[in-house]
Chains A and B, each alone.
Chain A
Amino acid sequence: MTATYYTRTAVTLHWLIAGFILAALFMGWTMTDMAISPARLKTYNYHKWVGITVLTLALLRLLWRLTHRPPALLPMPRWQRFAARGGHALLYGLMLVVPTSGWIYSNASGFPVVYLGKLPLPNLVARDKVLADRWHEVHEVLAITLAIVVALHVLAALQHHFVHKDNTLRRMFQWRH
């Protein structure tokens, strides 16, 4: 059977990860301006839990992608095909490195990551102020890059669907049985 649709697993992972990425970006954007309070501390914790969830789902998704051939891209100009492939590769990479850089930043600041407040994750680096400042910057720049690539991804999908009318969006709302 030639695959015209994504698998149900791929579609589910796509939307789950999309939701968690938006939540993490929103929290990350707002929490740094919050005054010191339990609410701020909790938001940081939730942000980390959501980030670890994205990392885990992204690893599963990468495994799935490597073992399941996705449907071919819809007909489009060569440059768009190139941009789509590059954009998707970039998204996969960022889904993995953005949460990982945050995890390192947290550890370098002296905060171990305890998933859902129950499962302690290993410390990737020891506490170090200079390292923490550096990874804070790396995490921020990578997260902003992710936000930009996600925005381009959404705009491109909308343009294909509504301007070129090629039913692109339907591919992420249907799956093969």
Chain B
Amino acid sequence: MRNRLTWLALPLAFAGLAWAADLNITPAAGSKVTATFKQEGVAVESPFTKFTGRIAYDPAKVTASTALLEVETGSFDFGDAAYNAEVRKKSWFDSATYPKAKFQSTSIQAVAGGFQATGQLTVKGKVQTVTVPVKVSASAAGTVFDGSFTLSRKAFGIGDPVWEGTVDDKVVVKFHLVGGK
């Protein structure tokens, strides 16, 4: 009886090791996603307060990993109601029509300290391929993924022309994702 159980348990244990556990990403677990807009030399970093994600990360087989992150554009918080209303308008995020921005990895390569994720970034209905370096570390809360990348807001049709020359085209997206089970 005892032996039989052992034989049953072993393959299950191996299966558990081979399949990377899916890590859920939520703001509640201490994860952060921010965008930094620069105007006249002043860089203002503001958070998205609502997002969800799933990362399947296997340090032993990094290329088998996958990452998905969905951010609610209407949750961008400048800390000012008037500016928040502005950025949700049609000419900016158009949050009513495109409530979510999404990153879905297509290939993941191991690099020192973490991995490099290439994938499709969908914002405001437009898709671009981006490559994002990600630093992986361990914390008491779980596996932590840190990184940032720069995008052109105009490539996604974000921004009213009247702001041309005041707000930079380049926007830095930063993330600190804590993977919880």
- CB distance A45 to B40 under 8 Å? yes
List of B residues within 8 angstroms of A132 by Cβ: 79
Interface residues in B152-170 by Cβ distance below 8 A to A read: 162-163, 165-167
Q: Are B43 and A112 closer than 8 Å at their CB atoms?
A: yes
Does the CB pair B41–A117 fall under 8 Å? Answer: yes
Cα distance A111–B46 in the bound complex, in angstroms? 10
Is B79 a contact of A114 with CB atoms below 8 Å?
Answer: no
The yes or no answer to A41 lying at the interface (CB within 8 A) is: yes
Q: How many A-B residue pairs have CB under 8 A?
A: 43
* Chain B interface size, under 10 / 10 to 19 / 20 to 34 / 35 or more: 20 to 34
Question: Are B82's CB and A114's CB within 8 A?
Answer: no
Is A63 positioned at the interface, with any CB of B under 8 Å from its CB?
no
Q: Which residues on the A side are within 8 Å of B46 (C-beta)?
A: 110
Task: Please determine whether B42 and A36 come into contact, CB atoms closer than 8 angstroms.
Answer: no
- What is the predominant secondary structure among interface residues of chain B facing chain A? mixed
Given contacts A41-B166, A109-B80, A112-B44, 14 further A-B contacts (CB under 8 A): A36-B82, A36-B85, A38-B165, A38-B167, A41-B39, A45-B39, A110-B79, A111-B44, A112-B42, A113-B42, A114-B40, A114-B41, A117-B42, A132-B79
Q: List 8 A-B contacts (CB under 8 A).
A: A36-B83, A41-B166, A45-B39, A45-B40, A45-B42, A111-B44, A112-B42, A117-B41
Q: Measured between alpha carbons, how far is A110 from B85 in the docked complex, in Å?
A: 17
B40 touches A42 (CB 8 A): yes
CB of B38, distance to nearest CB on chain A (Å): 10
Residues of A close to B45: CB separation below 8 A? 110, 127
Closest Cβ of chain B to A127, distance in Å, is 7
Interface majority SS on A: helix, strand, loop or mixed? loop
Closest residue of chain B to A112 (Cβ to Cβ) is B42
Residues of A within 8 A of B (CB): 36-38, 41-42, 45, 109-114, 117-118, 120, 127, 129, 132
Q: Which residues of B contact A (CB under 8 A)?
A: 39-46, 78-80, 82-83, 85-86, 162-163, 165-167
**Chain B neighbourhood of A36, CB < 8 A:** 82-83, 85-86
The answer to whether B79 touches A127 (Cβ under 8 A) is: yes
Q: Judging by beta carbons under 8 Å apart, are A118 and B162 in contact? A: no
Tell me which residues across on chain A come within 8 A of B85, comparing CB atoms.
Answer: 36
A111 B166 Cβ-Cβ under 8 A: no
A132 to B83 CA separation, bound complex (whole angstroms): 15
How many angstroms between the C-alpha atoms of A45 and B167 in the bound complex? 13
Is A111 a contact partner of B162 (Cβ separation < 8 A)? no
Q: Could you say which residues of chain A place their CB within 8 Å of the CB of B86?
A: 36
B93 to chain A, nearest CB (A): 15
B42 is contacted by which of A37, A111, A129 (Cβ under 8 Å)? Answer: A111
